[in-house]
Chains A and B, each alone.
Chain A
Amino acid sequence: MPDKMHVKLTVNGQDAEFLAEPRELLIYALRERLNLTGPHVGCETSHCGACTVIVNGKSVKSCTMFVGQANGTEVTTIEGLGSPDALHVLQETFREHHGLQCGFCTPGMITRAHKLLEENPNPTEEEVRFGMAGNLCRCTGYQNIVKSILAAAAQMNASKEAAE
């Protein structure tokens, strides 16, 4: 069995430390060691995006990153985006616009959409569709997901303007 390595990362603002085989995938470290079961496994081949998290400010499919590679990084998962008392705008607009059904893709979708809106706060429908193309959904047909994301952008921009 390969030697274990000492892994240290920050997940949702909290330090995490454990011994793991370097080949362990980040998604399993998050789900099984840290009990962050929001991100899901849909393929393990980087096609579906259900496992999407944010690593050092970038969207990452966590089934495609070894925990060894994630050593020393800062990771955000769906659990770190909002809290029951203070939902993320996307968490609200997805519900408002029926952007989910079985919910299996949803944590990855919202985590990716959050990053997309950070990178492009004013996306067109086309840009949303392109920017979300790494996340598969089998239930919704995307129409309401796109709607939810555009609504979130509008809402975020409106509150930004109000604050200025």
Chain B
Amino acid sequence: MKDEVDNREERVANLKGMGCARKRVEDVRFTQGKGNYVDDIKLPGMLHGDFVRSPYAHARVKSINIDAAMALDGVVAVLTAKDLEPLSLHWMPTLAGDKQMVLADGKVLFQGQEVAFVVARDRYVAADAVELVEVDYEELPVLIDPFEAIKSDTVLREDLEDGADGAHGPRRHHNHIFLWEEGDKAATEEVIDSAEVVAEEMVYYHRTHPCPLETCGAVASMDKVNGKLTLYGTFQAPHVVRTVASLLSGIEEHNIRVVSPDIGGGFGNKVGVYPGYVCSIVASIVTGQPVKWVEDRMENLMATAFARDYWMKGKISATKGGKITGLHCHVTADHGAFDACADPTKYPAGFFHICTGSYDIPVAYVGVDGVYTNKAPGGVAYRCSFRVTEAAYFIERMIEVLAMELNMDAAELRRINFIRKDQFPYQSALGWEYDSGDYHTAWDKALSSVGYDDLRREQAERVEAFKRGETRKLMGVGLSFFTEIVGAGPVKNCDILGMGMFDSCEIRIHPTGSAIARLGTISQGQGHATTFAQILATETGIPADSITIEEGDTDTAPYGLGTYGSRSTPVAGAATALAGRKIRAKAQMIAAYLLEVHDDDVEFDVDRFVLKGAPERFKTMKEIAYAAYNQAIPGIEPGLEAVSYYDPPNMTYPFGAYVCVMDVDVDTGTTDIRQFYALDDCGTRINPMVIEGQVHGGLTEALAIAMGQEIAYDDLGNCKTGTLMDFFIPTAWETPNYVTDHTETPSPHHPIGAKGVGESPNVGGVPAFSNAVHDAFRAFGLRQAHMPHDHWRIWKIANDLGLHD
């Protein structure tokens, strides 16, 4: 007995609770090839769907002839808008309050748009039949440039009533979607007009794509006997998909089961609802057989959810000493053919107004104009909270430009403008309440870790050597200090299609003291089955290894809004902790009863309740669980279960300091990342191993975006980057090693103080890489060069600066 009391350390270790680098439980099946992804699903009698897609970016669809396709052996059906119209499914609502064609209704608005859906015996027959569908198009003028689109006579969206308001207020032109504003415009302009120093720049964050390794797909199975629809798919928000599927199809929600199986990466790509999902459902209803649709890589890059495409015109003002006095930003946001951005309803530009960043800026204004063009719809948060990465890139570029204007060191400029520790909770000029932070400490740690002063000395010497003709390589020190805003979000101001952005956890403790917990979120590689069990282990005293975590099946999991925007830990993680505390509260009563003392006389200790002052008298959680089911305890219901729905009081604000040191070859435009240091503060750390993995991965996605990845179009609207040959994804060869570090400033309003981390490295990484490129050329006067900084573009910078002469 005594031993059991004394071995506290061992008992803590046994739990594998919060803070330990627990190995992932998911890995056992993944490493053996036993994952279960959507394309692995095989149902009896399953048919395959495939799309006929538009080769044109803007054209009228004059006729569609399906006869030859239908005549092919093995083809079961070919659906067009005409077939969907009686069901009112030829259009569908988007998450942004707009609507989108499911199948081309009279015209097509981007290359790759879905025109007809072929259903056949297998994927080969379906692909053959796609070739046999004859579509007669009449080409229309194509609008690729948003600045041109907003002036053009060409009407893209003929379905929208001219002059009528959109979902976000007045539209001032037929290709205009909304103007969204925040902050005090007049006051900001006044400050900037009378400022001692003003820097002005157009910062473009190009169009790119989340491109998870697994593309999007679904298997729909309508059981006509029982009237039940089962839908498996790559859904980052399965519960929302169920609700939307019910609203669209008229099938009652209890008759729909949505399952997200294992997901091969999401990064925002799998938040939206795509025509493929709708067509699979309809096809299954029509044929009475299960229908699978899995897009190929080209379809994924061309037609599903792009990210970014923000033209950000900024003005930042400061005193001569470098104290920032105001920030003004106007964004022209290219939303493509339909406004299908995945943002909380109230925020058509997401949380872009976090663009005052980590700085104490007294007055600011943001205006965002959304514009239609002949490009694919989307605008998802590619590994970031809604539009936060655009905001972080914008402010971190403006700071660098201002530093040039002031002829000041950019690290110092940041330091004198950081929000101070004693200012938290901090009210930003654009309306956010930052929960906690200690920016100066993080910055100092980062700069001293990389030997900042030495780097600057080396850089200055390099410039001199370059000027003397001794080297053709310049050196850039890329700085980035970012503040994220994640964990959407408080139901009072965050909803998607009217559904509040809470999340949930439900726990059942089994009689023998193991447990199952289900959440409203869904892992796409983040390791929820590992980390959420750690939270529960600490909260309930049941070892993580004895807790199964289940997500993604709407028939069993509690309702939740899913996983994106780094919201799992801030929202579902909180629900998990609170559900665990409910378990503990009941366990306390049971323990007290078993020990024959008052509830208040016992206290929780790692994995048990002990009698206060007499720790040798205790009841373990195992014993308590058994008693909960097997002993009649007066006044206490049998069983040990809890459920918690968590509506966060505020967002969380993770932050970090990144430094990238890069050599740039002036003649070839190639770069060599010599060093990358990433300090992240995500509040309480649940599993350091998983955090580090998230940082490595996010930084590599940032590397891709900053250095080469883009979705590009030619003037006719042809997508030029539809394969992995053209769309840059770094290999192991191009990716550097990263050094990770941390500080820990818990969130004051989160039950366990955790803030979320998965997206920070992408938000902070892009400016670090890009600033390194810019910084290499700072001595030669480069102010702004648009991403991606591929070899050609870097060569062009050098050439434009006359460095090849």
Contact = CB atoms under 8 A, between A and B. Distances in A.
B176 to A, nearest CB: 35
B700 A98 contact: no
B738 A143 contact: yes
Contact of A146 (B33, B701, B729, B732): B732
Contact of B265 (A21, A43, A128, A138): A138
B32 A84 contact: yes
Given A40-B37, A98-B690, A133-B733, 15 more contacts: A38-B34, A42-B264, A43-B724, A44-B297, A82-B32, A98-B689, A100-B27, A100-B31, A101-B526, A101-B694, A102-B265, A104-B264, A106-B31, A129-B733, A143-B738
Interface stretch (B133-141, B211-219, B308-316, B490-498): B211-219
Nearest to A97: B689
Contacts of B27: 94-95, 100, 103
A102 B524 contact: yes
Interface string A98-115: 101111111100100000
A41 interface: yes
B697 A141 contact: yes
B697 A140 contact: yes
A44 B39 CA distance: 14
Nearest to B73: A1
A36 interface: yes
Nearest to A2: B124
B35 A103 contact: yes
Residue of B39, B211, B213, B725 contacting most chain A CB atoms (<10 Å)? B213
Nearest to B39: A41
B729 A133 contact: no
Given A38-B34, A42-B297, A138 B692 contact: no
Contacts of B701: 138
A50 interface: yes
A91 B23 CA distance: 13
A94 B28 CA distance: 10
Contacts of A128: 732
Contacts of A106: 30-31, 33, 35
A164 B689 CA distance: 36
B725 A102 contact: no
B647 to A, nearest CB: 29
At the interface, is chain A mostly helix, strand, loop or mixed?
Answer: loop
Contacts of B63: none
A138 B698 CA distance: 9
Interface in B21-72: 23-24, 26-37, 39-40, 42
A91 B31 contact: yes
B24 to A, nearest CB: 7
B262 interface: yes
Contacts of A90: 31
A99 to B, nearest CB: 8
Contacts of A98: 23-24, 689-690, 692-693
User: Which are the 7 A-B pairs with shortest beta-carbon distances?
Assistant: A38-B33, A103-B30, A102-B525, A104-B264, A141-B696, A141-B700, A101-B525
A143 B33 contact: no
Contacts of B525: 101-104, 139
A16 to B, nearest CB: 17
A74 interface: no
